[in-house]
A and B are shown apart, each in its own frame.
Chain A
């Protein structure tokens, strides 16, 4: 209980200034609104007076009796004067003094205006003068539907017709009076009410050490009823000003706290049965709320609820108090739904989940319950809250489908609050299977998604909107359900199979979203598939195990590669984001083709081992280059180039070595020659391509594709000779290779091939003088020099002998 006392004191110290500040701001806003409302009403009445005069003239001209209109015109004029002479909002407080009857009536009316702006309009519209005026106006303009005129709202005055506030009588003292009465009357009143509640809480819990529980409760009840009675008395006498509203609010809050204490607070417990205690609270809460509803003020009702929540907040956490909080939240939502008070619903959501979370984590959860029961209890409460907010959100949406403001706020807030509260609750018991929660959330959102789809009939919204996020549609609910499903898959399936589960989920989401079309779901599907792609690298590549002789790596990664290819062709057949009215995702297509290639490359590396990777990748490069030509697809062609370069680099890094037990495969000659041959095949295929227009960097680079392949092949071949042939024979081998490349360069009209050959011969010259001359033994040194000399003479002879043909080839 000591903690409760400290919390109460801290709460009073911290919360009171905050409340004071909030009320200050809200009061200033309200004062401004009231002034605007007054000005608008005056303007409206002036306008109507003018129009009535013109209607009168028309009626006179048409020969009808103008008597009724004249009479009503007089009413309008009187009404306009009344409003003009109405005291400023600040002076309403002074209406507690014996006022003249007209002022009292205006004050009551003014209170309604200030508390609820729409009520102001309703009063104006339903005023007999206005109704009659509308009828006359309709008749004179020939409108045959009088029903419409009843609901027609008055026109807001233009700024030009708005009366000059500075020129109005008494405006000099208004500002100072207003501020003074704001502080002294309005804010003091509310702060006082709040402090009264805190004081009563402290009073009940600590100050009455000598009194028995009944006495404590009786004193609390008497005090509450006194406050209430005083407030009601003032209201009846003065017509409902802020003082009386504050007293009534305080009285109800104190009464609610007293009812709560009858069972919920140990020191004052007189009711042992939780059901009886809860029933008493429900009765008091219902009375409080019913009374606040009399004013039809969203703010007054909201304040009543805040006080009620505050009373619960200072109490110790128990099953009873939590149920009371849920009941309170449900009643609050019911009211907000009935009166279409969106702000109250949104505030209620924050208030309920916030207080529940704070209470559960600042105070101990119900101690009498066992671990599992505790989770079940709290989760049940959260589920009830969640359901209520979902229902209210849906009904708001159904009532006003076009609204995307506060009603749509409820959906994401309800989801996040419910998720956070649940995630904080479940780890209270160690080893709790969290996937149960994921399953629960999935089931909840599938149900609510279906309900939203059927009831709110908004699945087609996405068809006209490219980007919609979390607006509370059927699609949004199903997206959340699929998120929960993904978590469940991750938790339940073995690590290598998670990718499969996610891939299936993503694929199905994408397919559904294509058909409906749902943009958010489509993006979420693509996101899940992309995450699955990345997960392959942490859970599927470097694993052991096999089933039926096929490795688990192969069994899980190959279907994912095929899925990526399917998605490539699927997205590639779509319109682009700009061209599609529903936002196409054609831009994703290249990414999927690269995902497939990257996964295939990584799979080859881990499945075949480092030794066999270069030839397999080189063969894949030939296939991709061929596919690129067949489908005229530059992405495939580029992928062929990248695979070929990786194959060459990898082979060189491994010294073309392979650890296979097969002696043929284990030979660097086999690995090197297969890889290099594939590179030259790619080069040959690339040479047949029409050069792309160099309109981008990538397209510009495409022009160098054949040269890059040719160079990589030549380097790979030269390196293979370097690895396999040593000493003086290397010079001979390189010289011959240089000649071969040169000849091939002429034959294929490939300048880079020719340069490669010449470069290799030049390298031989350098090698002969820098290495062979120093390091080799005499016979090998002689061989190196002679081989190189002979090669150069042969090249020179060929140039001379076939000069004409060479020149022809070079053309």
Chain B
């Protein structure tokens, strides 16, 4: 092909692409988040052999998880006299168990706990220890929303995110045990900080992965795929974690801002909520067709899972 023809074709492609994008109200997002994600991928790939070499067995992981859970001093359902708390904890356990159908690591035994505190949060520990704050149960509006959050926490265990942050520390303590004896915790602590720095590059990737797989866990169990996006949006509005940045005065200032924010975001464990909402929306949009999904607003109120009481009005078609 003559250069002039290829030039014309390329120019046309550029102009047409640009015009179409301008018609669609494009997102004005400038930053190094994309680059950081690629760097995180590279770090994750490079650390894979180390993670493989220091892997612990499921039994060891569950033992660690139980030990760590024992340190938690939150007032849970089992220690509460309140019927409501007990009922809620039982509800969480039933709902959580219903989401374990498509696990990768079936040898892990999951345990779900309720923390009697108003904080709107949930977290996971190695070996399948999942903790949910009562504030979160009050915050969500349907069982589908709740399922997506519990699915997110299950993924952190299933995809080894939780145990990987302990693996290096445990391996260091094992290796140093023969030399340092009782002081081997020093080596473990040093390795903990080192691994936090190294793994900081892909913590946000792990959150995206947990969102995606969590949504899959909940939809595989029949829950509405758009619920995850809705609850995430409301969480973002509640905590307002993002500042709207003003347009820079020139391209150099723009790059400077991007570098500045990227350096700060390296150690940020969770990605910006808007990004998470966008990705969840994109993933949920893949669910099309006539399959109906369950919402479960009434189930949440009554603390009865779908398996206990299925309400026909709670079914909906995907958006």
Contact = CB atoms under 8 A, between A and B. Distances in A.
Interface of A: 427, 434, 487, 490, 493-497, 500-501, 503-504, 507-508, 511, 537-539, 541-548, 550, 552, 555-556, 558-560, 562-563, 566, 569-570, 573, 602, 605-606, 609-610, 649-650, 652-653, 655, 657, 659-661, 775
A573 B3 contact: yes
A538 B21 contact: no
B278 A544 contact: yes
Interface in B1-50: 3, 6-7, 9-11, 13-18, 20-35, 37-38, 41, 44-45, 48
3 nearest A-B residue pairs (beta carbon): A547-B24, A542-B34, A500-B18
B283 A547 contact: no
27 contacts: A494-B28, A495-B26, A495-B29, A496-B27, A507-B11, A507-B14, A538-B30, A538-B31, A538-B35, A539-B29, A539-B30, A544-B27, A544-B29, A545-B24, A552-B24, A552-B27, A562-B10, A562-B13, A563-B10, A566-B3, A566-B10, A570-B3, A605-B41, A606-B37, A610-B41, A655-B104, A661-B287
A165 to B, nearest CB: 58
Nearest to A567: B10
B212 interface: yes
B216 interface: yes
Nearest to B205: A610
B258 interface: yes
B26 A497 contact: yes
- Most B-side CB within 10 Å, residue of A537, A559, A560: A559
Nearest to A541: B34
Nearest to A560: B14
A653 B13 contact: no
Given A500-B14, A661-B287, A569 B3 contact: yes
Interface stretch (B74-82, B112-120, B175-183, B248-256): B248-256
B251 A504 contact: no
B18 A556 contact: yes
Contacts of B41: 605, 610, 650, 653
Contacts of B38: 537, 602, 605
B22 A493 contact: yes
B57 interface: yes
A555 B20 contact: yes
Interface centre among A493, A547, A569, A650 (most CB of B within 10 A): A547
B213 interface: yes
Contacts of A555: 17, 20-21
B141 interface: no
A507 B17 contact: no
Given A504-B15, A538-B31, A494 B21 contact: yes
B17 A559 contact: yes
B209 interface: yes
A494 B212 CA distance: 29
Contacts of A541: 34
B22 A494 contact: yes
A775 B55 CA distance: 14
Given A569-B6, A610-B209, A547 B216 contact: no
A485 to B, nearest CB: 13
A659 B212 CA distance: 7
Contacts of A570: 3, 6-7
Of listed B11, B13, B21, residue having the most chain A CB within 10 A: B21
Contacts of A556: 17-18, 21
Contacts of A503: 14
A457 to B, nearest CB: 27
A666 B24 CA distance: 31
A389 B280 CA distance: 59
A507 B7 contact: yes
A236 to B, nearest CB: 60
A493 B15 CA distance: 13
Interface string B245-275: 0000111000100100000000000000001
B286 interface: yes
B29 A563 contact: no
A657 to B, nearest CB: 8
Nearest to B5: A566
Contact of A552 (B9, B26, B34, B213): B26
Given A566-B6, A649-B45, A558 B26 contact: no
A490 B45 CA distance: 35
B7 A511 contact: yes
B34 A653 contact: no
Contact of A495 (B7, B28, B278): B28
B13 A558 contact: yes
A123 B193 CA distance: 85
A437 to B, nearest CB: 11
Contacts of A659: 209, 212-213, 216, 283
Contacts of B249: 427, 434
A559 B16 CA distance: 9
Contact of B21 (A490, A497, A610, A775): A497
Interface in B171-213: 205, 209, 212-213
Interface string B130-165: 000000000000000000000000000001000000
B7 to A, nearest CB: 6
Contacts of A649: 45, 48
A507 B27 contact: no
Contact of A545 (B6, B25, B31, B255): B25
B14 A487 contact: no
A660 B213 CA distance: 9
Given A493-B22, A552-B21, A566 B7 contact: yes
Nearest to B281: A544
A508 B10 CA distance: 11
B37 A542 contact: yes
A775 B31 contact: no
Contacts of A558: 13, 17
A605 B209 CA distance: 14
B20 A548 contact: yes
Contacts of B32: 537-538
Contacts of B104: 655, 657
Given A500-B18, A661-B286, A775-B57, A543 B209 contact: no
B8 to A, nearest CB: 10
A543 B26 contact: yes
Greatest chain A CB density within 10 A among B7, B34, B213 is at: B34
B26 A496 contact: yes
Nearest to B102: A666
Contacts of B57: 775
Given A501-B18, A539-B30, A545-B24, 4 more contacts: A434-B250, A543-B27, A569-B6, A659-B209
Contacts of B159: 657
A652 B52 CA distance: 11
A573 B17 CA distance: 27
Nearest to B6: A566
A547 B23 contact: yes
Contact of A504 (B11, B282, B286): B11
A605 B39 CA distance: 12
Interface in B223-250: 249-250
Interface string B44-69: 11001000000001000000000000
A657 B7 CA distance: 40
Contact of B34 (A487, A538, A569, A657): A538
Nearest to A546: B24
A487 B253 CA distance: 12
A793 to B, nearest CB: 30
Contacts of B17: 500, 555-556, 558-559
Contacts of A546: 24
B14 to A, nearest CB: 4
Contacts of B287: 661
B13 A494 contact: no
A248 B166 CA distance: 88
Among B6, B9, B255, B283, residue most surrounded by chain A Cβ atoms (within 10 Å)? B6
A434 B22 CA distance: 22
A538 B27 contact: no
